[in-house]
Amino acid sequence: MAGCVKLFPVSPVAAQDWRLREKMKRYAKEGWKLGRADQIAVDTIEAYYRGETCEADALLACDAAKRAGLAARMRRGRR
């Protein structure tokens, strides 16, 4: 069932949720924690699933997390 979201996302939020959950798994293997922006995105997605916020807010949080990750990689000199 985990592959269903990857192959057939029911919404853009579900695709972002899958991406962040996979990142959480990779980080857990290394003993790392998610960055602040990624954790905010996960929390916002969970709030969307509970009906406490709208889809646009969840997508904005995901976009902010992506931008924060890109900015951090650029500061470190990676692309």
Question: Which pLDDT belongs to residue 50?
Answer: 94
The reply to whether 29 falls in a domain is yes
Question: Which pLDDT belongs to residue 5?
Answer: 57
The reply to whether 25 falls in a domain is yes
Question: Which pLDDT belongs to residue 60?
Answer: 96
User: Domain tally for the chain?
Assistant: 1
Angle at the Cα of 16 (from 11 to 20), degrees rounded to 5? 150
18 pLDDT band (50/70/90 cuts)? very high
Angle at the Cα of 31 (from 25 to 77), degrees rounded to 5? 90
The reply to whether 39 falls in a domain is yes
What's the first-to-final CA gap in the chain, in angstroms?
A: 33
Question: Which pLDDT belongs to residue 63?
Answer: 95
For residue 49, the enclosing domain spans: 9-76
Q: What number of other Cβ atoms are within 10 A of residue 32's Cβ?
A: 11
**pLDDT score of 9 more than 80:** no
Measured distance CA(19)–CA(74) in Å, rounded: 21
The reply to whether 3 falls in a domain is no
